[in-house]
Structure 1
Amino acid sequence: MTFARLDPWNDAAVIAARLKSRSARLVLIIGAESWCETCRALGPVFDTLAQQSSKQDDTWLWLDLEDHADFLDNFIPDSLPLLMSYSGAELSHAVIPTRVTEADLLELLARPSVIEHSNLPDVRGRLMANDWAL
């Protein structure tokens, strides 16, 4: 079985429907695999974790700065990759991972909250917007 990343350009309605659940968790990376070495190293790790996620309410997304610039309103983080996670409607993680192994990411996501960055776009809100998911 081949794993395919969900993409807001192609899977908007599916993503919006998944995020409507109050117990939904959104895990996303904002990165740039074409020129960021850390992002390239993290990509396969992120995909493996997304594929292995057994929670039906989990949605894992990779947003590329180049491919999703319009979606992100040209937001560029201070550093890459930026890991964001939402528990329901609440932002619980906004951090640049310093290590990119599966164990390190799972350990980071297991923390109740790690928010080291502010002035972030409301990615979850945008993913759930009616105009986007039509």
Structure 2
Amino acid sequence: MSTACLNPWNDAAEIAVRIALPSARLVLMLGAEDWCEKCRIFRPIFDAIAMQRANQGETWIWLDLEEHGEFLGDYIPDDLPLLVAYKGAQLTHAVIAAQVSATTLEELLAQPSYIEHNALPDIRRRLMSADWAV
């Protein structure tokens, strides 16, 4: 795979295999590039960090509310962009990225856990589901 940031529509089987490992780290950013200015600015930053961390066994996915709503069900975040991360099956991060910068993203992910939003759907489980990845 040439890109570090995977797309669930194109890379379903690879994503399911990668995140099924017990120690796998999954980093998601929920955004809406069509109408969220912060998201448009943050997307290239997210992609650049994903590329830097590609060889660290992490799976990075940008989920756009418009394009990937199927993974979110009826969940709509209070604000965007929303950083969501898992270590194995454990949700470790669910926080709005208030500052749009690489430093902010790195600092948030460096914390062992940072959860401000508990009412998230289990996006990891949906990405792993057999009906999706086949």
Shorter-normalised TM range: over 0.9
Q: What is the rounded CA distance, in whole Å, between the counterparts of 1:92 and 1:16 in structure 2? A: 19
Equivalent residues in 2 for 1:30-49, closer than 5 Å: 30-49=30-49
Cα drift, residue 3 of structure 1:
3.7
Structure 2: gaps (5+ residues): none
2:77 matches 1:77:
yes
Equivalent residue number for residue 14 of structure 1: 14
Matched residue, 2:51: 51
Are residue 106 (structure 1) and residue 106 (structure 2) matched? yes
Hey, what's the Cα distance between the residues in 2 that align with 1:24 and 1:60?
11
Indicate the SS of the match to 1:70: helix
Q: Normalising by the residue count of structure 1, what TM-score does the alignment of the two structures yield?
A: 0.93
* Corresponding residue pairs, total: 133
Deviation (angstroms), 1:4: 6.4
Q: Which runs of 4+ in 1 moved over 4 A?
A: none
* Mean CA deviation greater in 24-33 or 52-61: 52-61
Structure in which a larger fraction of residues adopt helix: 2
Q: Deviations over 1:35-94 (max 9, x none)?
A: 101101110000000000054420000000000112321321111111000011100000
- Contact 2:19/2:26, CA 8 A, preserved across alignment: yes
2 CA distance for matches of 1:56 and 1:17? 16
Deviation of the 1:6 alpha carbon:
1.2
Instruction: Check the 8 A contact 2:5/2:59 in 1, yes or no.
Output: no
Quick check: 76-85 or 51-60, which moved more?
Answer: 51-60
